[in-house]
Structure 1
Amino acid sequence: MADTKTEEPTKVIEHMRNWVNSQPHLPKDIEDWLLLRFAHSCYYDLEKAKVAADLFFTLRAESSNLLKDRDPQSTQMQKILNIVNIGQLKLPGKKNIWIYQINDPGLDIYEYILDVKLFFTSTDAWLLENDDLEESDTVIIDVKDISLKFLTKLNVSIARKLSKYQEEAIPIRLKQVHIVNAPPFIDKIYGIMKPFLKKELTEMIYFHPPNSETLFKHVSRDELPADYGGTFPKMEYLNKSVVQLMMKHRERLNENLWVAIDKKSKNKDKVQIETASFRSLAID
């Protein structure tokens, strides 16, 4: 089907719904707004939207352990929430900025699996709350507390699957990724992750060392939290809003939300991930 104009959402939804109904492995209770969001994220190329949606539900089925026990008040979730701040900012011009900040200098508390579970939980809550169709999404990751010890925490199998989900499945229009407070050794960590990433994504990634102002060449100060010299509240306050959002959607987050019924998908061969981990890697 040719590109469909954005002013015809009913036709877009109908086309996507007919496709979903023809796919035995896809859930049949997908919300209209989510189907429209897939189309919008793919600039209304509906064939690409189908691939993205199929991958979205299939990867979630293959990551079911990361979608269970997501109660924000649980001991496990509280553990990661105590060291991670998340900001979700909606800006004029239909722009979103997503900010992630870790606060665990020794990485003694940090657990990669819980971090990924928090990513799924916070983004799912955001999707459940927001049906606005944004024009651009910018991600800012503050790695001020990252050390080479991070490599001992990383699970490569999950990291690869997560990267694929972020790049090709989640229905947003990703434009830029900024790594701020990047230490000199960030290239070693990035070197592990880069093979998972498509060229289109690597070209969106910018690194900014501590005390640098290069971020402001891409993002206005007015669009940032006070932590980064901006006018928005500090990250710890923005994070409270994210936690409140997760609590609001607590019941649905603990359901089997947005997963394929089985793993029979045309994308199955593309998403088979070998099991590997760097937990045994020794860092001096």
Structure 2
Amino acid sequence: MMMSGQIQAFPLEKEYGKNPDISREDINKLREWLKTQPHLPEEYITDLDLILIYFCCEKSAEVSKQVLDLHFTLRTLLTTWFKDREVDKKIINALNTILIAPLPAPTVNGYKAIYSRLIDGDPKRYIFGDIIRAFMMVFDLLQYEEGTWPGFVLLIDMDLASMGHLAKIDISLLKQVLFFHQECMLVKLKELHFLNAPYFMDKVMTMLKPFMKKSLMDIIKVHERGSDSLYKYVQKNSFPKESGGNYKDNITLRDEIIRRLENNKQYFTDESRRRVNESLRPSGKKTIEGLFGIEGSFKKLDID
């Protein structure tokens, strides 16, 4: 795979081949329902989008409808991450601060993995909102290229992390991103690993816990510095050179990711059209305040 070049959508024929229990009829039925929802951007939602939704919802049509609505509603309302998706100075700074690298081989259980770590340890350069924005750009482009995965694994290497970084995490943004990931991100998250756990790992977990369902807490695995327990899940040679693996070095990976985003401007232009028109929603307009409350507390979407 050419990491930094222009990419094409994963072919539908191959997607149906990967998932013989998903039929064109299933997707057509979802499409017909979509056409009855005036607020949703039906003409810009692709069949690959619908397959991703149907697959991650365990092929339940009713759950798929709810997740689809919530997914595109939040892409519209969470402008911190999903508006003006271009490689600007903030994205460049984010990608010079933190590595977001898809690993080259599946995990031991056959899942797709993204490895992330600080490559600049200065907390002043750590802007949480921009880093999530960059992560979602990398993730969306990768999924567009590769289609469904049997599972997804996120590897967060805490090497270079400090209490100064923890202090820069905006709690209201953390709530929103965890809500999006748990309720409507189009992926089956199977494992969440923290590598090189620092002395303040308990404070990290205390910060995360109020916004995580038990099902997410249950898949978190914490690995102490120097431990090889991670390699039961991910082969060591899949990691970048600096982390003891045989993959590319961190700076090469960073540069490839930046070029990859820059070379796929059209994808993000097209993706920006997949937004909800709240003025046309039959059940009344949704707002960020209505979803999360003025203080950011969760409220469930009411989706029929």
TM-score by length of 2: 0.80
User: Which ranges of 4 or more aligned residues in structure 1 deviate by more than 4 Å?
Assistant: 263-270
1:261 paired residue among 269, 277, 281:
277
The residue that corresponds to 2:66 in the other structure is 51
1:14 paired residue among 14, 28, 32:
28
Q: 1:27 corresponds to which letter in structure 2? A: P
Q: In the superposition, relative to structure 1, how do residues 196 and 31 fare at CA in structure 2: closer, same or farther (>3 Å)?
A: same
1:117 matches 2:133: yes
For residues 106-132 of structure 1, give each alpha carbon's deviation from its aligned partner in whole angstroms, at most 9, with x where no partner exists: 31211111112112221222233232x
Structure 1 residue runs without a partner (length 5+): 277-284
Equivalent residues in 2 for 1:241-256, closer than 5 Å = 241-254=256-269, 256=272
Q: In the superposition, relative to structure 1, how do residues 152 and 36 fare at CA in structure 2: closer, same or farther (>3 Å)?
A: same
1:208 paired residue among 223, 226, 229:
223
Q: Name the CA distance, whole Å, in 2 between partners of 1:46 and 1:90.
A: 33
Structure 2 residue runs without a partner (length 5+): 1-18, 297-304
Equivalent residues in 2 for 1:183-222, closer than 5 Å = 183-222=198-237
Tell me by how many angstroms 1:271 deviates: 3.4
Q: Name the CA distance, whole Å, in 2 between partners of 1:123 and 1:274.
A: 29
Q: SS at 1:52's partner residue?
A: helix
Contact 2:96 2:254 in 1 (8 A): no
1:39 matches 2:39: no
1:81 matches 2:95: yes
Contact 2:192 2:220 in 1 (8 A): yes
For residues 44-74 of structure 1, give each alpha carbon's deviation from its aligned partner in whole angstroms, at most 9, with x where no partner exists: 12222222222211111111242233322x2
1:173 paired residue among 183, 188, 201:
188
Q: In the superposition, relative to structure 1, how do residues 206 and 25 fare at CA in structure 2: closer, same or farther (>3 Å)?
A: same
The residue that corresponds to 1:230 in the other structure is 245
Q: Name the CA distance, whole Å, in 2 between partners of 1:138 and 1:110.
A: 23
Higher alpha-carbon deviation: 237-246 or 32-41: 237-246
Contact 1:107 1:145 in 2 (8 A): no
Q: In the superposition, relative to structure 1, how do residues 14 and 205 fare at CA in structure 2: closer, same or farther (>3 Å)?
A: same
Q: In the superposition, relative to structure 1, how do residues 222 and 254 fare at CA in structure 2: closer, same or farther (>3 Å)?
A: same
1:148 matches 2:168: no
Tell me by how many angstroms 1:94 deviates: 5.6
For residues 90-148 of structure 1, give each alpha carbon's deviation from its aligned partner in whole angstroms, at most 9, with x where no partner exists: 535863111111123231211111112112221222233232x2111111011212222
Identical positions, percent: 25
The number of residues matched between the two structures is: 270
TM-score by length of 1: 0.85
